[in-house]
Each structure stands twice: as structure tokens, then as C-alpha cells.
Structure 1
Amino acid sequence: MAKSPIQDLEISEDPIRLGQFLKLSGIAEDGGHARELLETEQVYLNGRLEIRRGAQLHSGDVVAVGDRRVRPVLARG
């Protein structure tokens, strides 16, 4: 089974907290939903299970929830 393509999402600050990124990417509807995803062990960071909402993401890290994969990319400018 093929993995889904990775979506790049521009961020203005590096690093960014995982909870913020889940909301920014649209994976989570709000902070409560982000917390629920993490508490129910649905979030993977670079292929490893992540449960910390405050985990620091850097440009190029890959966040996966279900079949969705998103990578923060620092905006140029």
C-alpha cells in the first residue's frame, strides 16, 4: 500500500509547537481536538508516535495522522 503524498505547509517561525501545527494544517479543528488526537495516540512525528502537544517541530519534519502527512516548511522572505 502506497503512502499518501506529503503536503508542504509554510510556517513563519521555526520551531513551531506540534499542537499549533495540527491546528494550522487543518488536521485538528481546535486545541481540544489536537489534544484528543495526541491522547488517543493518532499522531506520528517523523514515523514515531508523539503524544506531547508542545513537541517542537522544525522545517522538514513530517507529521502524520491517519492517511494525511504534512511537513512544515519555513516561509522565505
Structure 2
Amino acid sequence: MLEISIREQDEFIKLGQALKKANLVSSGVDAKMVILDGLVTVNGKTELQRGKKLHDGDVFEYNGETVKVVK
């Protein structure tokens, strides 16, 4: 399982940004497309909102990779 961290001054990271930070997509457009295609899950549920706020402890999955958000 990969881990990405939220910047210390922030309380959350948006799903599209998290996909890029984890190097699972190369751009925001790619993030938008894989999310809208229903290929990303957050905490076990398909997520269709690129702006979904992820907080410490949330887990998302895409393309066989699991990523945990940590503070």
C-alpha cells in the first residue's frame, strides 16, 4: 500500500490531486477521466467526484494500487 501525505497546513486533499501526487495519473485531465469512468474507489465505494475531499486515514484505489492518505 502506498501512502501520500497531506500538507501540514491542510486538512484534506482532493481526489484528483491525490491521484497525481501518488503518480497514478499524469495530469488533472487524466484524473478527471478515470474518476468519471468509475475506475476509482474511496473507502471501498466508487467515487465520481474529482473534488472529493480525502482526509487522514482515507484509502483510495485505482488500477490495482491502494493508497492511504496520512497527515
TM superposition score normalised by structure 1: 0.84
Gaps of 5+ in 1: 1-5
1:44-63 counterparts in 2 under 5 A? 44-63=41-60
Secondary structure of 2:56's aligned partner: coil
Task: After TM superposition, give the deviation of residue 9 of structure 1 in Å.
Answer: 1.4
Task: After TM superposition, give the deviation of residue 61 of structure 1 in Å.
Answer: 0.4
**Which consecutive segments of 4 or more residues in structure 1 shift more than 6 A?**
none
Task: After TM superposition, give the deviation of residue 72 of structure 1 in Å.
Answer: 1.1
Gaps of 5+ in 2: none
Higher Cα Rg: structure 1 or 2?
A: 1
Corresponding residue for residue 3 of structure 1: none
Identity of aligned residues (%): 32
Secondary structure of 2:11's aligned partner: coil
Alignment partner of 1:11 is 2:6: yes
Task: After TM superposition, give the deviation of residue 14 of structure 1 in Å.
Answer: 2.1
The two structures, once aligned, show a CA RMSD in angstroms of 0.9
Count of residues paired in the alignment: 69
TM superposition score normalised by structure 2: 0.90
